[in-house]
Amino acid sequence: MKQTQPHILVIFGASGDLTKRKLIPAVYNLHQKDLLGHPFAILGVSRTEMNDKEFREKMREFLPNDDSTSDFISHLHYQPIQTAEKSDYPKLSDRINQLKDKLGVPANIVFYLSTPPSLYHVIPEYLNSVGLNTEDDGFKRLIIEKPFGSNLETAKELNKDLLKYFKEHQLYRIDHYLGKETVQNLMVLRFSNSLWEPLWNHKYIDHIQITSAESLGVESRGGYYDDSGAMKDMLQNHLLQLVAMVAMEPPTIIDADAIRNEMLKVFQSLRPLKRESLNETLVRGQYTASHIKGEPAKGYREEKGVDPDSRTETFVAMKLHIDNWRWAGIPFYIRTGKKMPTRATEIVINFRPTPHHLFDTMDISLTKPNQLIIRIQPDEGLLLKMGLKEPGAGFNVQPVDLRFHYSDLSDAYVPTAYERLLLDCIQGDATLYARGDNVEQAWEFVQPILDEWAENPDFPLHGYPAGTWGPHESEKLIAKEVNGWRYPCKNLANDGKYCEL
Ligand code: BG6
C-alpha cells in the first residue's frame, strides 16, 4: 500500500455545501481508517467570517456524534479571506506557516477548489503570488471540480491559465465517476480475465449501451443547471469517461499516464457527429409536468432558478462510433436524463447472436443475444444473460441470469468516490483524475453539437413527462437494434420500463 505523507489539506469554498456534505465526511472516513498519515491538518478557507470553533461545529452536521468525531474535529482549522483578492493571500500563507510550525507538518499541501469555476482562474495565480505553488519544500497539488470550461475554447483557456502557475503533474481534475469503485472495476474486469478480452471487439460485440438515469430533477440547482444542461453536466464528462473505460486498449502498465494515454486515444477516435445530420444521431429532451406515483411533478421550466422559456436539455441520447481497429462499425448508444423512472447507471454489452439458430423450436422473443450488464449504481454488480436448456423433453432454450452483487462481498468496505479520489491525490496518484488533454479532446467532440444547438433554434427539443424514459425519439434512435434500450430497474436483475413507478 502507498504511504501517505504528513500534509495540510486546504479547502477553498469551505463554507459551502459540498465541503460539509461530501469532503469532510470523506476525510473523516479516511481518518477513521488511519489512511491520512500523521500529522495532518485541514484548513478551511472562504469569505465567511468564522473562527476555528465555529467551523468545527458547522462541519459536525454530517458526521457521527461520538468520541472519534471529536478527535477528528480537532484537526480542522479555518481562515477567512477574500478569495478573489490577491492582497488577502499573505494572510493565507501566514496561517499555513503557523500551522506548519505548530503541528510540525511539512509544506506538503493539497488545495481543493470547491468554489465557483470563475475562481479557478484567479486562485492559482494568487497562490503563486505568495509562493504556494512551488515544490521545493514539499508537494503542492491542486484539485478542481468540473466544469472544466463551458465549451472547447474556455476549457483550453482554463488549462492554459492553470498551467501558467502549476505543472500538469500538480493538477487533479475530479470526475467523480472515475472514483466510483464499479467504474474502476471495469478495468479489472476487462484486463484481469482472459475470458472477455478476446470477445471485446467488433467481431463479437453487436453494440454497447450506456445509461445514466436519475430520478431526481434539478432540485435546488436550477440556476446552475439552466446554463449547463445534460450535455455539459453529464455527457461531456461522466458518460464519455465511461465510454473511454469500456473502449480503451489495455494500458502497458497501471499508471496515471499509461491509462490516460489510452483514454485519450479513444477520445481522439470518436467519429465527429455531422451537424447536418445531427437529428439522426442525437435526441435532446426536457421534462414536462406530470404525475409520479399519483403526485404532481413539476416541469423543468417551473423549477426554481430556471428560465420559464428555457430550452436547456435535461435529457440527451446519442449514437456514436469509435473509428479504430477494435470498434469499427459498432454503435455506442449513450443517454442520460433527469426525472426518469429510476436512478441507475449501467453499461450493457450486447453480444452478437449465434451465427446459426440451431434450436429452431426456440421462441425468438426469449432468445435474446447474450448481454453483459455492468451495473455502476445502485445494486452494484454484474449480470450475464445467457440461454440454457429448459429441463424436460426437447431443446427449449430458456434465458437465465448469472449474477454477482458487490454487496455479497460483505466484509469489503467500499469507499465513496470522494474518499478514493482524495486519498489518491494526497498520495500523488492521478490515475483516476482527468488529464487536461483528455478534457479538451472530449470538448472537441461535443463542441459541434453545442454550436448546432446555439445556431439552429429549430433543432428539436422534445418534451417528455417527468417520470418517463425520455422522448419517444430516443427509442427511434436505437430502433435498428433488436431489443432496443434496456430499461434498468433498481435491482440489477430486473428490467422493464416502469418497474419503479
Ligand atoms: C454531477 C452532476 O456531476 O453528477 C449532477 O452535476 C448529477 O447533475 C451528478 O446529478 C450525478 O452523480 P451520481 O454520482 O449521483 O451519479
In tens, the pLDDT along 160-185 reads: 999 999 999 999 999 999 988 889 89
Of ligand 1's listed atoms, the one at least distance from the Cα of 237 is 3
CA angle 425, 426, 427 (to 5 degrees): 85
CA angle 331, 332, 336 (to 5 degrees): 145
Whether 368 has a pLDDT exceeding 90, the answer reads: no
CA 188 to centroid of ligand 1, rounded, Å: 24
d(CA 20, CA 177): 20
Of ligand 1's listed atoms, the one at least distance from the Cα of 238 is 3
Best residue among 211, 231, 234, 421 to mutate for probing ligand 1, ranked by most atoms within 8 Å of CB? 234
pLDDT digits (tens, 9 = 90+) for 204-219: 999 999 999 999 999 8
Backbone angles phi, psi at 138, to 5 degrees: 150, 165
Report the chain's mean pLDDT, rounded to a whole number: 93
CA-closest residue to ligand 1 atom 14 = 177
Q: Which of 17-26, 353-362, 381-390 has the lowest mean pLDDT?
A: 353-362
pTM above 0.85, yes or no: yes
**Ramachandran quadrant class, 375 (left: phi over 0; alpha: psi -120 to 50; beta: rest):** beta
C-alpha grid cell for residue 431?
490515475
C-alpha grid cell for residue 405?
452483487
- Percentage of the chain lying above the pLDDT 90 cut: 81
**Ramachandran quadrant class, 382 (left: phi over 0; alpha: psi -120 to 50; beta: rest):** beta
CA-closest residue to ligand 1 atom 5 = 233
Residues whose beta carbon lies within 6 Å of some atom of ligand 1 = 176, 214, 233, 345
CA-closest residue to ligand 1 atom 10 = 214
Whether 405 has a pLDDT exceeding 80, the answer reads: yes
Cβ 196 vs Cβ 342: under 8 Å: no
The stretch 229-250 carries a mean pLDDT of 97
The predicted pLDDT at position 360 comes to 62
Catalytic residue list: 238
d(CA 501, CA 499): 6
Whether 447 has a pLDDT exceeding 80, the answer reads: yes
CA 182 to centroid of ligand 1, rounded, Å: 15
287: part of which helix (H) or strand (E)? strand 282-288
CA-closest residue to ligand 1 atom 2 = 233
Whether 453 has a pLDDT exceeding 90, the answer reads: yes
CA 102 to centroid of ligand 1, rounded, Å: 39
The predicted pLDDT at position 172 comes to 97
The stretch 11-15 carries a mean pLDDT of 96
CA 309 to centroid of ligand 1, rounded, Å: 24
Percent helix, strand, coil in the chain (nearest 5)? Answer: 35, 20, 40
User: 25: closest CA among 62, 56, 50?
Assistant: 62
Best residue among 150, 214, 237 to mutate for probing ligand 1, ranked by most atoms within 8 Å of CB? 214
The predicted pLDDT at position 195 comes to 95
The predicted pLDDT at position 37 comes to 85
The predicted pLDDT at position 363 comes to 55
pLDDT digits (tens, 9 = 90+) for 138-154: 999 999 999 999 999 99
CA-closest residue to ligand 1 atom 4 = 234
Write the CB contacts of 218 (distance below 8 Å, at least 6 apart in sequence): 225, 226, 300, 303, 305, 306, 314, 338
- Judged by DSSP in three states, 348 sits in strand
Whether 364 has a pLDDT exceeding 70, the answer reads: no
Write the CB contacts of 77 (distance below 8 Å, at least 6 apart in sequence): 41, 42, 43, 44, 52, 55, 95, 99
C-alpha grid cell for residue 60?
459536525
User: 247: closest CA among 213, 197, 203?
Assistant: 197
Whether 56 has a pLDDT exceeding 80, the answer reads: yes
pLDDT digits (tens, 9 = 90+) for 387-402: 888 898 888 888 899 9
CA 489 to centroid of ligand 1, rounded, Å: 18
Of ligand 1's listed atoms, the one at least distance from the Cα of 376 is 16
Dihedral through CA 180, CA 492, CA 464, CA 458, nearest 10?
A: 50
C-alpha grid cell for residue 263?
483514454
Distance of CA 80 to the CA centre of its chain: 31
Of ligand 1's listed atoms, the one at least distance from the Cα of 216 is 10
Of ligand 1's listed atoms, the one at least distance from the Cα of 218 is 8
Dihedral through CA 429, CA 435, CA 438, CA 442, nearest 10?
A: 110
d(CA 251, CA 264): 12
The predicted pLDDT at position 367 comes to 57
Write the CB contacts of 358 (distance below 8 Å, at least 6 apart in sequence): none
The predicted pLDDT at position 1 comes to 65
User: 56: closest CA among 27, 24, 91?
Assistant: 24
pLDDT digits (tens, 9 = 90+) for 94-140: 999 999 999 888 899 999 999 999 999 999 999 999 999 999 999 99
CA-closest residue to ligand 1 atom 9 = 234
Identity of residue 179: G
CA 333 to centroid of ligand 1, rounded, Å: 19
User: 489: closest CA among 399, 319, 373, 410?
Assistant: 373
